[in-house]
Amino acid sequence: MFENILELLGIDSSRFLTRANFIDSVLLSYRNSLAHGERGYEIVLEDFDEVAHYILKLMDTFKDSLIDSAIRKDYIRKLDKSHETNFI
């Protein structure tokens, strides 16, 4: 889903796909443990700081990519290409 959004916005997904393993393994593990009410689950402060730093860095990278794409109007080129292929 995220990859589709990046494509529509004209953002190169390779910068984010390399981080997909972290998101899938670490974040989803935390989320699933909390969502399923696992008891005795602790988040070590150092682990939290590391994850928070990583996520903030990832969000900053996404923000920069989004701004660059908007300045270059990559999303318009992407829409133009999709319309061309629909009529061929």
What's the total number of domains in the chain?
Answer: 1
Count of CA atoms in the C-beta half-sphere (13 A) of 31: 8
Choose among 11, 13, 8, 12: nearest CA to 79: 8
Give the domain range for residue 74.
2-87
Mean pLDDT across 27-47: 79
More confident: 47 or 80: 47
Mean pLDDT across 52-71: 92
CA triple 9-12-16, angle to 5 deg: 105
pLDDT score of 88 more than 50: no
Quote the strand ranges of the chain, DSSP E: none
More confident: 51 or 80: 51
Q: Which pLDDT score, from 0 to 100, does residue 79 have? A: 60
